[in-house]
Structure 1
């Protein structure tokens, strides 16, 4: 009898553990996970769930592999639906900084929302006659007037429809401490900044209040006030029974004009209380930030290097030119004493019949001397052609010779 009782107790403990595993999970990074992936989604070597890359017109899905049964009993013994989730994400646009189209946290009756399409549809089912039930918390980064979007940077609640039942521009409430006084202020956030941010989604099936909270990852704890707080009976949209299970996960899209990397860095979920806290030390936060820095700093570094190279070449050119002018000025200082006597090579060549040997008058230390007549004035001249190969004398000796001849 004692052994039978002990066996029953052990069986109850095992069943409870299994039930807890079926209602709660946590991903501190996704390395080694067996998520249900589809479309462009994949797990990076760093353990990041990449839903889309910076490519055009693609869709990516990442769902928890097993469906979850949301049914539970409230204080009145009736079925109710409650859940809690939190995740860290990063949305990084391409070099054009034109982001799109956005991503969504999804609870759906199918692992991948039927008839989901890229671009403005966020991979969700947009057909009103579809049998697929879904709740989506959208992080929308493009203004879609077709679905009555409020701007190109908002968080919205979608229920079986892409027209949000409630939405607000992205931001969070933070508390500023001045002395002993606390002043709450609203701070705007740019969803597509590439910075890691955290979202908390909580629904109480008894009070029927759905809260969505957004904050930068540096907050670590959710703000005291949610960004969205909406009262809705989800049991009117979802079948709440132990026979019905639902899939939870993410979807994201791009279009032909907006290419963006949508990434999930960590995620936890619970059907029995608050979602487990993420271990930030195990999340691939630094790697995601490094990739963002490389993405933006690499073009900037290349541009800076090109400018620096061009500036260096310009300064070297000016320096060399200045030195050349100085040397030339030194070489022809005798002109200031004798007056300008400079002739072009073309004029001297014509005057000496191309420096012909028939015009040769002699040969000195600097080279040959040819006689000639200037065609313009008929003046007889003697032209000495300097040859560096036949002369060991320098510019100083040549200048001295010119000055002596000029005073004869």
Structure 2
């Protein structure tokens, strides 16, 4: 390597033929890299917390006798009514297809990753012997093969089973033993056939797919297209305990190149069957996130490459070899000079990260933001400034985050945020497009959200229209979905630690996109908290009270922040303000006092007038209070929150009285309540009660407690 980078002779003709060819090859690779379009990776997906036949047939294709009924996908018929139940099969698939690999069929260049989670219920009829099974499928079309009942599980039939032309992938949940099955209670990976490539008997794991009692199974299937790895996780829930999180270890792991199996454009959904034995095959909820690949074929994507340049490279190399060699040498020298200006350690770290997105050139971002002009500033936080930019060559608007703390801390901030978000893929997260580390600058490039941040719409002046109720409801549901993904669906637990309206961005359709992962931390699945040595970061009003005692962030403390977001969305008020709310400085305390007096709807943003759904507002306010519970263990978790927002689960009971809570002293607050780091003063902190109390705490007492707090 040292010889290759040694100073080059001034006269290019003195280079050896080998070196000349090497330089030409490097130049060719560089040009191909420059002119190959690098498409930003985003995520597509959908979420069904429950199912509604009046609306969901618009997006789901049910191939009879499958139906949407009783808030579930009944992939084979229910026992009610004059319906034949034996020897039936059905499919229900999402109507929109997804592009799952890119490049030519013989050598795909990219395979999409996807994550899905769903809840299923398989029940034998009248405590009989169950049969046959249910499967999650990736299919080339929504069609149901004729004769796919019995052991064919709605996947294939006697004629087509085992044919590569099926282009079918399935994870089966089999309840009946055929000759090729290990037993009557297993999961399996099916590729173009019901004879599984891999099976996992479930009795060893304590699971019975079709017991004579009501059991729900929560399943996660995660596929990593870069590593060609599929993992299946599974838990059982009897409804008597709160929803459990995803297990730390998968129940099935399989190496699988999906591009060798499924069509480039395929459909996701479920198939099921009965035989002479009967069962009900139901899906009760379903979430799906799919990595978005560039549209079109590889050749279509490269149409923007200048044809003259390609032709010149093809026929002009012999004639211009010496000139190209000199240009290559000059290019290598310039590259080395630029590389020397960068930190080799941080660049090496970035290059080694799995799934690392695009590296932008500093000059392109400088041009896009008009040299980081103040007029393009979108916002500023504790870690840096965000600027709006336009990449003219791509006709794309971006948001460029420039880290601005001291050099050492900025590198830590930059790496912390990038290593967290570079692998996250969810439709309610702000998409990361790339990064740049040049000229002493540390920059992250995000997709620009045209409707700005949520706080710009909630806390707006008369010049901006009031955010309508339907948008507010959709925003809360979107943030809940994103938080559920971070806490329970991603392969690590991710704590956001800074949930607030200014960190929730809105796309052109007012869909919520959770952003600003500057404080976010990933923790191992067997751990439950993250401790910050410097203290508790965040913003007063969003920080859970236990954080001041423990100095640790948890999923429960994220839920507390989410509760504050719900209340500010419904009430149109910040969670803390110096002037107070009718004697209370914290919004949650004021809403709780209205709840105590039976006047909770008075908390709804007055600018809405009567343009809101009363029952929805009541549910949201109670959910906000439940998430603001002073005892962390009493707050609902994200699966429950998603179900509450979908209407399938009732809001937890919220008592009318809230215990007083005395916070320790902390650093002074500015007008917005921000602190850089609130000191952890465990020794001096105290509570006035360890749980809910029936003792009424007067407004005057609460106001006194607030006045004695650090604000």
TM-score in terms of structure 2 length: 0.32
Summarize the alignment of residues 165-204 of structure 1 with structure 2, pairs less than 5 Å apart. Answer: 165-170=197-202, 187-193=205-211, 194-204=214-224
* C-alpha displacement of 1:274: 5.8
In structure 1, what is the equivalent of residue 281 of structure 2? Answer: 262
* C-alpha displacement of 1:162: 1.1
Higher relative contact order (CA 8 A, sep 6+): 1
Q: 1:206 to 1:36 in 2, by over 3 A?
A: same
In structure 2, what is the equivalent of residue 374 of structure 1? Answer: none
* C-alpha displacement of 1:199: 0.7
CA contact (8 A) 1:69 1:246 kept: yes
Q: 1:43 aligns with which of 62, 68, 71?
A: 68
Q: 2:152 aligns with which of 116, 121, 146?
A: 121
* C-alpha displacement of 1:47: 1.5
In structure 1, what is the equivalent of residue 186 of structure 2? Answer: 154
Q: 1:63 aligns with which of 90, 93, 104?
A: 93
Structure 1 distance, partners of 2:145, 2:86, is 21
CA contact (8 A) 2:144 2:155 kept: yes
Q: 1:216 to 1:284 in 2, by over 3 A?
A: farther
Q: 1:220 aligns with which of 244, 254, 257?
A: 244
In structure 2, what is the equivalent of residue 313 of structure 1? Answer: none
Q: 1:280 aligns with which of 634, 640, 643?
A: 643
Q: 1:262 to 1:271 in 2, by over 3 A?
A: same
Q: Deviation string for 1:85-120 (max 9, x for gaps)?
A: 110010111114311101100001111243451111
Q: Deviation string for 1:261-303 (max 9, x for gaps)?
A: 111100011113567545233578779xxxxxxxxxxxxxxxx
Structure 1 distance, partners of 2:171, 2:253, is 12
In structure 1, what is the equivalent of residue 290 of structure 2? Answer: 271
* C-alpha displacement of 1:237: 1.3
Structure 2 distance, partners of 1:160, 1:139, is 16
Structure 2 distance, partners of 1:274, 1:216, is 26
Larger radius of gyration: 1
Q: Deviation string for 1:134-178 (max 9, x for gaps)?
A: 110000000111xx211100010001111111111226xxxxxxx
Q: Deviation string for 1:287-323 (max 9, x for gaps)?
A: 9xxxxxxxxxxxxxxxxxxxxxxxxxxxxxxxxxxxx
In structure 2, what is the equivalent of residue 353 of structure 1? Answer: none
Structure 2 distance, partners of 1:129, 1:101, is 22
Mapped pair 1:24 → 2:45: yes
CA contact (8 A) 1:116 1:122 kept: no
Q: 1:249 to 1:116 in 2, by over 3 A?
A: farther
Mapped pair 1:205 → 2:230: no
Mapped pair 1:234 → 2:252: no
* C-alpha displacement of 1:189: 0.9
In structure 2, what is the equivalent of residue 95 of structure 1? Answer: 126
Secondary structure of the 1:95 match is: helix
Q: 2:271 aligns with which of 220, 243, 251?
A: 251
Q: 1:33 aligns with which of 52, 56, 60?
A: 56
Uncovered stretches (5+) of structure 2, i.e. residues with no partner:
1-39, 80-84, 292-423, 427-480, 485-638, 651-711
In structure 1, what is the equivalent of residue 435 of structure 2? Answer: none
CA contact (8 A) 1:266 1:283 kept: no
Structure 1 distance, partners of 2:284, 2:645, is 10
Q: Which structure dedicates a bigger proportion of its chain to strand?
A: 1
Mapped pair 1:107 → 2:138: yes
CA RMSD of aligned residues (A): 2.8
Secondary structure of the 2:249 match is: coil
CA contact (8 A) 1:113 1:132 kept: no
Secondary structure of the 1:26 match is: strand
Structure 2 distance, partners of 1:115, 1:133, is 17
Summarize the alignment of residues 8-23 of structure 1 with structure 2, pairs less than 5 Å apart. Answer: 20=43, 23=44
Structure 2 distance, partners of 1:30, 1:285, is 9
In structure 1, what is the equivalent of residue 530 of structure 2? Answer: none
Uncovered stretches (5+) of structure 1, i.e. residues with no partner:
1-15, 172-185, 288-408
Secondary structure of the 1:157 match is: strand
CA contact (8 A) 1:86 1:198 kept: yes
Structure 1 distance, partners of 2:647, 2:281, is 14
Q: 1:138 to 1:274 in 2, by over 3 A?
A: farther
Secondary structure of the 1:235 match is: helix
* C-alpha displacement of 1:226: 0.5
Structure 2 distance, partners of 1:88, 1:70, is 24
Structure 1 distance, partners of 2:173, 2:131, is 10
CA contact (8 A) 2:163 2:192 kept: no
Structure 1 distance, partners of 2:645, 2:216, is 14
TM-score in terms of structure 1 length: 0.55
In structure 1, what is the equivalent of residue 660 of structure 2? Answer: none
Q: Deviation string for 1:48-106 (max 9, x for gaps)?
A: 11112242111121110111112369xxx922131111100101111143111011000
* C-alpha displacement of 1:245: 1.4
Summarize the alignment of residues 350-365 of structure 1 with structure 2, pairs less than 5 Å apart. Answer: none
CA contact (8 A) 1:265 1:285 kept: no
In structure 2, what is the equivalent of residue 394 of structure 1? Answer: none
Between the two proteins, the alignment pairs up a number of residues equal to 246
Structure 1 distance, partners of 2:283, 2:168, is 20
* C-alpha displacement of 1:254: 0.7
CA contact (8 A) 1:170 1:214 kept: no
CA contact (8 A) 2:169 2:262 kept: no
In structure 2, what is the equivalent of residue 82 of structure 1? Answer: 113
